Each structure stands twice: as structure tokens, then as C-alpha cells.
Amino acid sequence: MRSKTRITTILFLATFSLLVHGASRHLVAIKTKLTLTGSGRDQQNGIILIEDGIIKEVSPSLKIPWNAEVIDESKHIVMPGFVLAHTSRGLERANESMPDVPFLSTFDAIDPFQSFFRDSLRNGITGMLILPGNSTRFGGTGTVVKPTGKLVEDMLIQKPVGLKISMSPAGGQSRMGHVQQLRAYLDGAKKSLDKWNKQAKDPKTPKPGELSPALKTMDQLFKGTLKAFVYCPTASDVIRAIELIQQFKFKAILVLGENTWKAAPYIKKANLPVILPPDIMFFDRNPDTGEMKQVILPTIFAKMRIPFAFQCDPSSYDARTLWQVAAEAVKYGLPKNLALAAISSTPAGMIGLGGKTGQIRPGMEANLLVLTGDPLDPTTWIDKVLIGGKVVYDRKKDEYLKLLLKGSQK
Amino acid sequence: MTFTRMRITTLSMVGLFMVLLSGQGALQAADASPHQAITGVTILMGDKVIADGVILFKEGTILAVGKNVKLPKGTRTTSEKGKVLMAGLVAADSLLSAGPGADPHSINTQLVAVDGFDYFSSFQAQLAGGTTCAYLSPGDNRLVPGLGSVVKLGALPEKAIVKKVAALDSVLTPKALNPPPLYSPKPYPLPSELFPHQEGQLPSTPASQAAEFRRFLAQDNPTNTALKDNKLTLRIRADSVAEIKTALTIARENRLSPVIVGGREAGQVAPEIRRAKGTVVWRCPFNFNRVDTRDPQAPVEKPHLYAYTPALLEKAGVPVVICGATDSAQDLLSAVSFAVAHGFPREKALAAVTSQAASVLGVSDKVGSLDKGKHADFILLDGMPLAEGTAILKTYVNGRMVYEHQGLKKQAQAGDTLLKNALVLTGDGGHYPATDILIDKGIIVAVGHDLKGPARAKSIDLTGKVVIPGLIDLASRLGTHYFGADNETNVPPFNGGSTFLLSPGEIIRPDDPCFKASLEEGVMGILVRGGEGSVVAGTGALLMAGAVRDDFLVKPFACIDVDLSGSSWLSRLNQFKSLMGRLDAYEKAGKQYRDALEDYTHRKPRDTLNRMKEPAPPGVNPQYELLIKARKREIPLFVRVNRGDEIAGVVKFLAGETGFACNLVEAEGMLRAPHVAHLINGVILTPPFQRRIEGKMVDLPKLLEKKGIPFAIASDGALGSLYLRYYAAEAVRRGLSPDLALRALTSVPARMLGVSDQFGVIAKSRQANLVVLDGPVFTPGSRVQMVLLKGNVVYKRSGQ
């Protein structure tokens, strides 16, 4: 039904554009000093040609069309915008106190005026998935937004994306009880859906009523159109999460806590992508000997070839922004291309923006960052942010940044 | 090619992780043969003992056990000659997976305990005690908390679960009497019923516990069907006779044979349990892993009353499984020893923590014995499991060594003096024959059998000798009168007032020959106390006879003497109360000054007018400072009181209302003041011990022993400290037990002075002030052979 609408729209648009003879084509060409494409080969003195917000060509030897708007960034580095695959910011409250609320959507609660969005944009995030918090069982579905716009409808990229499931006991319950409730809920939902489907297919029985909102969400989960973002604070939770994922056969991404690294071989075996905690390095204390051991999470997961994305936490000192986390990871020995992938293409794939953002190549949306230097150098500024080929952030016009800097100079 | 290399890297990473997790040094996968064997060990297999036996295992499974086992080629063999090997212990109850948090339902048949289990914990404490397998209880605070699981401890996560659903737990103890209000919204809220109201749920009394349990068992559901078809075991947590009887009745009504867990008083209803075909998982009432903080002289109470439960059950023919006192599957061997010490048959003891436990849990096809085909879970010991001092050296789970004893290697530890093979009386009741004491730099570092010090340590053989802590005399005037060779000086006794501030220690002459005389009789800690008469009569100093310079004066202000005895005791008490009032005012002034000073130091920097003046410090009253310390229990109060009414009034005020550490001097009237006994820290007794009180002859030590009040025996003499042991011997002759008499000279006075962390006991980390006697302490013929001060021999009897 929807695809039919889409086709109609495209046909209509095509006809219309033919009528006005290409007058609506908007071309933008960006000259760069260096293009970090994120897809293997970086280009010196590159030119990026954008047509209606979509990258058309990336090449150093490109002839810029006469009617293209030229943005000259030939002293700057251009790279794909960052993507944040998991956050519960931008909401007034992260969790409902009732633990089983899969029918909720963060779309109904996003507050576009929270400073988090302004800060995210300044730090180069062009797309993010906002999910309910971790203190829940079935917390609700997430929304992918861009951090610009005064209405949540303006910010929206797509929804629903991802269902938050948490393995951390909610509401004062024991771990055993929490897991039992998870299993019981999944089991109950599966049975109800089977019954409903059977009734819907059987011509002899009367047609069943519409599915409840909660069952609709669970239906999407079981059908695979919705991925579960499963929060696992401990290594044992990972084992149980994998058990649930395999028993009920749904697609999942693990949102990990610090101590989960011990379960990495099992994550590899289950072939699941992960989102690492904001603080990627910590010291693990051996309870028997008291010895402290440095654990660097990204190198562990990189060596095992488990796809991973970073997340940031504005309240953490070490992991305030995505580039900061990536820079830390490089400091601790992660190859730079993997670190950049973990804040751009990998998270983009996780939240369903795989073919749209995270890389600079033809066909992708022009979500770009213009940088004054190397992206992981702390002295580098993000000069401009482009979303859909439009400049949505310009450092020169960032009044709030001026205020911030003024404060620090005093 | 790249793919292969990647695969290899991944594999080796996985391998590396296994190694990290297991703590083992070698890659197992790299080894040629999967066969492993341990040879030369004494193997305990139920009733059978195989001397010089061999155990062969492969991939976590036992292949063969016996004397002559043919080992396949390439078997990795470890020889453990002289060691003992037995099956890993099975803890039949634990709450290892029940973390924080409580469940909303009082009956829950779907919850599975393994869902709370930490697969990645190393469980070193449990493995060190030999526990390799444990039942995970789903909880002990709900009527039916859920299903229990059986897991391995220290195994790899994928091999941890032995049986996911082993039993249904139920709880009839009072712990399950607080169910939370039920808040159970439907999974899919309806517009009409978004937020259902809270409901109360049963049970909150034992009666409703029984009713609700009956109602639950009468329901027709898969769980109950499984119970009735004997596919699921019913475990009932019950401790008291009433709880066990309820459990048995309800089980009989449903034709179930229950497993009683806890079973504290099960001995009383053993025949009934036998008739109901019940089994008991008995929980040892004594926690071996926690220091018993009860007063050493307090009457022996509850735990031991139920120590005979397993023996009684066994006698009645009820299968008994034993588990430790904690919730964490520890101390199984200690618990078994405890049961054996209280009449449980020794030959059945080990089965109660291995094969019997495994069969109660329904996992005897996998663990609990060393038969062929079972899991290779076993422990290696350096002696027979129930013998004194036997240590667990290694623990294997699924054929992997997951624990190795580190302490034995480290035992050749620091030490400069080693006393060998003496009868050690620790001063707090310990009686250890043929025991060694290792001393390092004046501090005791170990007490035990066959201790090994470094080669340079001086070894003193004390075979046939008795070692006790240095004695402490709490009432002495030693050194205040100087009996020198030429002239005699006499320092007057202090009498309150100005001398209060003077520590007796400052005017005492360490060269007084009386100290040497005391030392030679084993009296080392000497408390020289001020006089009597005034309400606050003086202070006392704790001295160490035989010590020089800094060590001589151990504590200049070790106690404060208060005299509230005599006919005017009420007015004296009032005087003391008004002193407390002045103390409060003094403290308040001090606090006000500190607050004002705080404000002043944090005043605004731009207070140019300097409106704030620096506050003037209040006067310091050293006497009050001491009393404030005493009120914080840093310095004990020694209160002289006599009659029963005096004791009651004074103790109630001092210890009850004001909070002093209140020790009584003499206290003849103890007979009449029983209701304040719990407030008294201790009593100092001086001879004579038999006194005529209210026309009756009263033996004071025996009276205090009967009332459970700790007491110290002191000499109260100017010269006579050296006779301290003889005074106590007199009390022993009149019927005081030698054990209590020794405590009254060592650990009790040390505790009354608040120095028991250093003196008065022979234990690790205490000062090595020891007295060596050639016979029992209170036998008149026994003589002091040697005295050690901080590990140095300061006196040795000559010409023996």
C-alpha cells in the first residue's frame, strides 16, 4: 500500500519535473582539501557534487556544472556526519515506571529545545536514535532524528526504529524475576499473535479485531521489521539475552555495560552487533586477588571482529562527544579507520540509515562535516554541518558557542 | 587466505579468552592428548578407599578410577603422592543467584533461579572450600519463590548448568510472611483498564501460609502435575517444629514426599519425617566464616542446642544432607565436622555433602561421586577430609583445575622466633596441644601445627610446656612505693583534685625491683591506679613490666577511677551528674568556638570593615578533656560501688544513660542487681573472693560466672602483683574453672582496658608477650620457666 503511494508520488514528481524542465534541480559542489569518504579511499583536493541533497559524484577531477552553487572548503577536511546509535537524552524522562510498555514511542516525548540537540549538532552528530532508558523491560520504540528543527516532525528521519529491552532488573525486582517476566511476556505475545494470525487467515471464523498497540510492536519485532536494542549490564546478562534472542528468533543489537567484555566470545558466536558503553576503558578488579586490570573494550571487540558502535554520554567527562570517544579509542590502540567507522557507518547501519548516511559516495545523503583539521584532533573545530546538502550549522553564526568561549576567556 | 587467517585469529582469541577466564597457564587446545590422569593419590569413593590410586579423565568426564588403570598413550599425568582425592562437594542449598530485589508475587512457579546466576564469577571462596556444585534456590522470602536450579561453580558458562529445573521451592518460615502488595497490570493494557489497582496478597501469618500453600497445591497446573508425577521435587523451607509439622501435613495430604530445607528443630520430629518419607537438608547453625563477636564468657546459647539435629535424624532413619550456615554454598566440610562432633556418624558424613546431596538434587547421574562417566569434579586434600588441619589443595571442575591453594606456599613467611610444640592456652578459651607460635618483630604472625619459619628464625622447643599470654593485673600500686636498696621513698597516693591530671605512670620508677619480681611470675601488664575517696578519684596507667623506655608506659591514661560507694552514694552520684552538666557546657563552648572559628576563617574576603572578630578560644580543662574521652568510650571508667542498690542506680546512669564503658570494682552487691548485668563491661575482683554479704557467705567469682558477667582478678597490692596467679589459683581451688580463671587474668582485663587488639590473647597480630610454665597454670607446683616480651626472652629460669 505504502509502496504504491510512493510509486505514485515518484511518478507525479517525475512528470512535474519534466514539465518544469529540470528547473527544480538544486546542485551544490563542495571543494575540499581532503575528503574522508569512510569507504576506503580518501581524496585529496576533492570535489563533492550534491544534487537535491543526495551525493551525485565524488571526484577530484570533476567538472563543476555551471549552475551549481559552490561551497569552497578547499582549506578544510570534509567527512561524513557522526551517527549516535543509542541515547535516551532529549526526553524529559527516560523511562515509564511500568516496565512492560512496548507500545510507547519516544517520538511522543522528544523535546526539540533541549540543549542536548544543539550540543550534538555542534559536535557533528547528524543522526541519532533516541530510545527509552534502561530501567525497564520492554521500554518502547525509538525514533531516529536529526538534531535540527523546532518541531519533532521536522527532526524526524524515521520511526519506529528499535525496541528497547533491558536485562537490568527494573522496579526493585530480582534478576531471576525480571528474566522470567521477559520470557513470559515474549511467550504471551507470541501466542497471542499466533492465535490472531490463525483467526485472520481462517475464513470460517469471524475476523479478529485490530491488534493492540503493544501487540503491534511485538509483531514487528517477531517479523524482523523492528530490531531489539537489548541492554546488558553484566556478562551473565549477555548469556541470558542471547538465550532469549535465539529462543524467540528476533533481530537484536546488544547495548553493553562495562563488565560484559568477558562474554565477548559468546557475542561473537551469536553473531550480534554491539553498542559499547560511553567509557571504553576501565579497570577491572579481580575480587580474589584485588589486582586491577586495564580493560580496553573496543580493542577486544575489534580483535574478535564483532561490529561495534560507540555512544557518548554528555554527563561523562571522558565521553562527552562521539569524536572524543573515538579519539580515546585510538589513544588506546584502536586503528583510526575502525574508530571513525564506529561513530559513522556502523551506527548508521544499526539504526537503518545504512544506505543513506555514514559514508561519502554517490547515492548517499549529503550529511557532511566540514572540519578545520583531523577529526580526532582535539584542537579541530567542526566548522560547518550539512544535512541533506544544506548547511544547518555554521560555527561563525553559533552565538551560543561565542558565549561559551567568552566565559572561558574571563 | 585472508579468511583463514582471520579465522585463526578469532579462534586463538577465543582460546585466549578461555585461558583468561579459567586462569590457567596453558592452552588446552594446544595439548596433544585430551586424556588426563592424577596418580599416587588415596581415593575416597563412598565406603571404598583406594590407596595409591589413579583417576583418568577426558574432556570433563571420568573414564576410570582404580589401582591399576591403563593410561592411553600421551596422557597428561600429574603425580600427587600422599594426597587424598575425593568427589567435589555438593551444596544442597544456596541463595547464590538471589541478588538484591524482591518479586511481586507470593506464588511464582515460572521463575527459574539460574536466571539470576553470575556465570562469570570465579567462586574462589566456594572452590577453596571444595564446593563444586550448588543448588540455586530462587529465594527464601516468598511462599513459593520459584524453581531451583543446579549449577557448577567455576565452570565455563556453557557448561555451568547441570539441571535447569531441579525442584520447586516453598517457604514456611517467617521470612516469607511479608508479601508486597500485588501490582500486576495486564501485559496489554486496555483503554478501560490502564492502571489496575494494587491488591493485597497472602500470606502474612503462618495460618494463611498453610491455607495458601494448600490452595496452590490443589490447583490443576503443569507444575503440580509434575510434582504429583514425581517429576519435580518439592522443597519446603521449614525450621521450627510447627513449620515442619505443617510441611509434613500438607505434603501427606498431597501424597508428596518433601525435602525439608533448614530443619533447625527437625530432630524433635524425626520419626514423623521418617513416616512422611521426607528428606532433610540440614543447615548448620554455626557460621565458621564469621568471627563470633559474642562475649567469650556469655552463656553458651542457641546454635549448639540444635547441633544434634542431624544425629537425631540419622538415628530415626531420615536421609540427611548437610549444608553450611551461609547462603553462599561455603563451609561444607566444617559443617560436616560440626555434625560429626555432635553425634552424626562419621562414616556417613562425607556422603551427606556429596552423593546424598546429589541424589536429593536429582543429579546423582552426573555429580556427587567418582564413578566412571560422571563429571570430573573432585578435590585434592593434604589429609583425610575430616581430620584436624586438613587443607584443600586443588579443586577440579569438569576436569579443569579452577582453584589452587596459595597459602601453603606462602607459609614459610616472615618470622624471627618460632616456639615449637607447646600446649597453647590462648587466654580466651582456646586449648591447643602440640602447637607452634611464629613471631615476627614482636608480633605473633601465626599459631598452628607444623609451622615453618624462615631458616634464620630462632626455634625454641617447648615440648611439655604450657604457653599462656602475659598476665594483666588491673589493681596495683606497684612502683608508687620505692623499695630501693638504700633508702625508701614513699610517693603519696593520689587523691583526686590536682593529682587527677597526673598519670601515675609519670611518677613511677621503672627500676623498682618489684617489677622484676612480677615479671618473673608472669605478670606483665600492670595497671597502677590512683586512690579512692573523691568522686573522680584519679587515673590509672598501664605499664609493661620488664619493658624499657617507650615500651614501659603503654598507656598513660588507661582508666578513670570513680568512687560512688558508701553511705553518701546518692549525693556522690549527684555530684557526678552535675559534673556531667558542666562537661556538656564545656563541650558546647568548644563547639561554639569551632563554629565561630569556621565562620571567621571563611569570612568574605572583601570584609574590609573587618566586622568579624577572631573568636577567643575557650579555656582548656584537661580533666574535662579526659572525661569527654571516657564518655566516647575511649577510656574505661572503673567505678567503685558495693551495695546492690548502688550498683543498680550507678550503672543505669553511667552506662545506660551516659554511655560510659562501665567497669565495677568489687561490686559485692551483684547478688541484688541482676537487671543491670547487661550494662556492665566487667567486674574487677580482688581477694578475698569469699565474703560474708548480708549474713551469707558468697563466692564472688562463682556468682559472677553464674550471672554471665565477665570478671578480672586483680591483686590490689603495692608489692603483691607477683602473687596474682596464686590469688586466681585460690579461686580455682574453690571451684572456679581454670579456663575462666585464666581468662580473668588475660583476655578479660585486656578487653576491659580496650587493649585486647594487642594484649591478653595468643592470636595472630597480637604482641608476643608470652609466659611459659612447666605445668598446668593453676597447679601450685607449676613454675614460670620463661617470659617473652615482644618475642624476646626477658626472663629464663636458671638451674632447672
**pLDDT greater than 50 at residue B20:** no
Strands (E), B612-706: 637-641, 662-666, 682-685, 690-693, 696-699
> What is the model's pLDDT at position B18?
45
Chain B residues 100-119 within an 8 A CB cutoff of chain A? 100-104, 108, 110-119
Q: Higher model confidence: residue B722 or residue B226?
A: B226
**A259: nearest CA in chain B?**
B120
Model confidence at B11, pLDDT cuts 50, 70, 90, reads: very low
Residue appearing with cell numbers 523511562: A95
pLDDT tens for each residue of B136-171? 999 998 999 999 999 999 999 999 999 999 999 999
> What is the model's pLDDT at position B654?
84
- What number is the average pLDDT over the span B54-74? 91
Nearest CB among A98, A177, A303 relative to B103 is that of A177
H or E element that contains A246:
helix A235-248
pLDDT tens for each residue of B550-563? 778 888 888 888 88
Nearest CB among A215, A259, A305 relative to B6 is that of A305
Nearest CB among B6, B120, B122 relative to A235 is that of B120
Q: Higher model confidence: residue B546 or residue B91?
A: B91
> What is the model's pLDDT at position B302?
53
Indicate the range of A250-264, B76-90, B568-582, B719-733 predicted with least confidence. Answer: B719-733
Interface probe, candidates B188, B198, B330, chain A, greatest A C-beta count within 10 A: B188
Interface probe, candidates B10, B11, B17, chain A, greatest A C-beta count within 10 A: B17
CB contact under 8 A, B187 and A189: yes
> What is the model's pLDDT at position B503?
62
Residue appearing with cell numbers 572578630: B613
Across chain B, mean pLDDT equals 82
Which residues of A fall within a CB distance of 8 Å from B141? none
Cell of B571: 549525693
> Rounded to whole angstroms, how far apart are CA atoms B770 and B778?
16
| CB distance B34 to B59 below 8 Å | yes
**pLDDT greater than 60 at residue B322:** yes
> Rounded to whole angstroms, how far apart are CA atoms A42 and B638?
86
> What is the model's pLDDT at position B626?
84
Interface probe, candidates A175, A176, A256, chain B, greatest B C-beta count within 10 A: A176
CB contact under 8 A, B110 and A303: no
Which residues of B fall within a CB distance of 8 Å from A303? 9, 13
- Type of residue numbered A267: I
B19 touches chain A (CB under 8 A): no
Size of interface A-B (CB pairs under 8 A): 105
Indicate the range of A94-98, A107-111, B225-229, B676-680 predicted with least confidence. Answer: B676-680
Cell of A105: 514511542
> Rounded to whole angstroms, how far apart are CA atoms B724 and B712?
11
CB contact under 8 A, A180 and B101: no
3-state secondary structure A334-346: CCHHHHHHCCCHH
- What number is the average pLDDT over the span B713-728? 78
Q: How far is A235 from chain B (nearest CA, A)?
A: 7
Do the strands B690-693 and B696-699 form a parallel or antiparallel pair, or are they unpaired?
A: antiparallel
The secondary structure of B547-603 as a DSSP string is --GGGTEEEEEEEEEEE--STTHHHHHHHHHHHHHHHHHHHHHHHHHHHHHHHHHT-
B31 touches chain A (CB under 8 A): no
Cβ neighbors of B204 (< 8 A, separation 6 or more) are: B177, B178, B179
Model confidence at B21, pLDDT cuts 50, 70, 90, reads: very low
> What is the model's pLDDT at position B291?
52
How many Cα atoms occupy the beta-carbon half-sphere of A20 within 13 Å? 9
Q: How far is A216 from chain B (nearest CA, A)?
A: 11
Average pLDDT for runs of 10 along chain A of length 410: 58 51 74 89 90 91 89 93 95 87 93 93 95 94 94 94 93 88 93 92 87 92 96 95 96 93 95 95 83 92 96 88 94 93 95 91 93 92 93 92 75
Which residues of A fall within a CB distance of 8 Å from B153? none
> What is the model's pLDDT at position B499?
45
> What is the model's pLDDT at position B717?
65
Cβ neighbors of A256 (< 8 A, separation 6 or more) are: A232, A238, A274, A275, A276, A277, A297
Which residues of A fall within a CB distance of 8 Å from B21? 262
How many Cα atoms occupy the beta-carbon half-sphere of B84 within 13 Å? 17
**pLDDT greater than 70 at residue B794:** yes
Instruction: Provide the percentage of residues in chain B whose pLDDT is more than 70.
Output: 84
Model confidence at B487, pLDDT cuts 50, 70, 90, reads: very low
CB contact under 8 A, A185 and B100: no
Sign of CA dihedral A170, A172, A175, A181: negative
CB contact under 8 A, B101 and A177: yes
**A168: nearest CA in chain B?**
B116
Q: How far is CA B736 from CA B47, B680, B730, B741, B746, in A?
A: 46, 21, 9, 7, 15
pLDDT tens for each residue of B288-315? 665 555 455 544 445 566 888 999 999 9
- What number is the average pLDDT over the span B736-764? 90
Indicate the range of B269-273, B560-564, B748-752, B767-771 predicted with least confidence. Answer: B560-564
B600 touches chain A (CB under 8 A): no
Which residues of A fall within a CB distance of 8 Å from B110? 180, 183-184
Q: How far is CA B328 from CA B325, B366, B379, B783, in A?
A: 9, 22, 19, 49
pLDDT tens for each residue of B367-406? 999 999 999 999 999 888 887 667 899 999 999 999 988 7
> What is the model's pLDDT at position B543?
86
CA angle B623–B629–B632, rounded 5-degree value: 145
Which residues of A fall within a CB distance of 8 Å from B6? 305
Measure CA B253 to chain center: 43
> What is the model's pLDDT at position A11?
54
> What is the model's pLDDT at position B692?
80
Indicate the range of B22-36, B359-373, B628-642, B728-742 predicted with least confidence. Answer: B22-36
Which residues of A fall within a CB distance of 8 Å from B10? 268, 304-305
Model confidence at B27, pLDDT cuts 50, 70, 90, reads: very low
Nearest CB among B10, B157, B187 relative to A268 is that of B10
Cell of B496: 583526686
> Rounded to whole angstroms, how far apart are CA atoms B201 and B162?
34
Q: Terminus-to-terminus CA distance in chain A, angstroms?
A: 60
**pLDDT greater than 60 at residue B241:** yes
Q: How far is CA B752 from CA A224, B633, B644, B770, in A?
A: 73, 11, 21, 20
CB contact under 8 A, A212 and B112: no
Indicate the range of B53-67, B327-341, B647-661, B733-747 predicted with least confidence. Answer: B647-661
> What is the model's pLDDT at position B498?
41
Cell of B623: 580533666
For B406, other C-beta atoms within 10 Å of its C-beta total 11
CB contact under 8 A, A174 and B102: yes
CB contact under 8 A, A180 and B110: yes
